[in-house]
A and B are shown apart, each in its own frame.
Chain A
Amino acid sequence: MTGNLMPPALIFIAGALLIPFLRGKIQAGYMLLIPVVSVLILMNAPTGRIWTLDFWGYTLIMGRLDKLSLVFGYIFTIMAFLGILFALKVKDNLQHVSAVVYAGATLGVVFAGDFLTLYLFWEIMAVSSTFLILASRTDAARKAGFRYILVHLVGGLFLLAGIVLYIQETGTTAFDYIGLSGTASWLIFIGIALNAAAIPLHAWLPDAYPMGTPTSTVFLSAFTTKSAVYLLIRTFPGTELLIWIGAFMVFVPIFYAVLENDIRRVLAYSLLNQIGFMLVGTGIGSQLALNGAVAHAFCHILYKGLLFMAAGSVLQMTGKIKCTEIGGLYKTMPLTCLFCMVGAASISAFPLFSGFVSKSMVVTATVEEHLVLVYLVLQFASAGVFHHAGIKVPFFTFFGHDSGIRAKDPSWNMVLAMGIAAFACIFIGVFPQPLYNLLPFTVEYIPYTGAHVVGQLQLLMFGALAFALLILSGYYPPEIKSINLDVDWTYRKLGSAAYRFLDRSLNTVNRRTEQGLMSVVKGGSTFFRQITVHLILFFSVNLWLVLGYRDKHLALKKQQLYNDVVQGTLPVGIGAAAAVSFVVLIYVLT
Chain B
Amino acid sequence: MKKELTLFDKPKNVKILLICFYCSLVVLVIAEFFIHPHPAFYFEQIKGFSAVYGFFSCVLLIFLAKLLRMVVMKKEDYYDR
Contact = CB atoms under 8 A, between A and B. Distances in A.
Interface of A: 254-256, 258-259, 330-332, 334, 364, 367, 372, 375, 379-380, 383-384, 387, 399, 406, 408, 449-451, 454-468, 470, 475-477, 480-486, 492-493
Interface of B: 2, 4-8, 18, 21, 24-25, 28-29, 31-32, 35-41, 44, 48, 50-62, 64-66, 68-69, 71-76, 78-79
Contacts of B55: 462-463, 465-466
A406 B62 CA distance: 31
Instruction: Give the most central of B21, B25, B44, B57: most A CB within 10 Å.
Output: B57
Contact of B25 (A258, A331, A461): A461
A386 to B, nearest CB: 8
B81 to A, nearest CB: 10
A334 B4 CA distance: 9
Given A331-B6, A454-B28, A484 B79 contact: no
Contact of B38 (A449, A477, A480): A449
B78 A466 contact: no
A492 B79 contact: yes
Contacts of B5: 330-332, 334
Contacts of B72: 256, 259, 484-486
A390 B55 CA distance: 15
A468 B59 CA distance: 11
17 contacts: A256-B72, A259-B72, A379-B50, A380-B53, A387-B58, A406-B4, A451-B35, A455-B44, A458-B48, A462-B25, A465-B55, A466-B56, A466-B57, A470-B59, A475-B62, A482-B73, A492-B79
A513 to B, nearest CB: 33
B57 A380 contact: yes
B57 A255 contact: no
Contacts of A475: 62
A380 B6 CA distance: 35
A234 to B, nearest CB: 29
Contacts of A483: 73-76, 78-79
A259 B25 contact: no
B65 A466 contact: no
- Which one of B2, B7, B61, B66 has the greatest number of beta carbons of chain A within 10 Å? B61
Given A399-B8, A482-B75, A460 B54 contact: yes
B32 A466 contact: no
A477 B66 contact: yes
Instruction: Give chain A's interface secondary structure class.
Output: helix
Given A259-B68, A481-B76, A468 B21 contact: yes
Nearest to A139: B80
Nearest to A457: B28
A458 B79 contact: no
Contacts of B31: 454
B32 to A, nearest CB: 5
Contacts of A454: 28, 31-32, 35, 50
B72 to A, nearest CB: 4
A467 B65 CA distance: 13
B79 A463 contact: no
Contact of A455 (B2, B36, B50): B50
A380 B55 CA distance: 10
A48 B33 CA distance: 51
B76 A383 contact: no
A199 B76 CA distance: 24
B35 to A, nearest CB: 3
A379 B40 CA distance: 12
B25 to A, nearest CB: 6
A485 B66 contact: no
B38 A451 contact: yes
A330 to B, nearest CB: 6
Contacts of B29: 458
A468 B6 contact: no
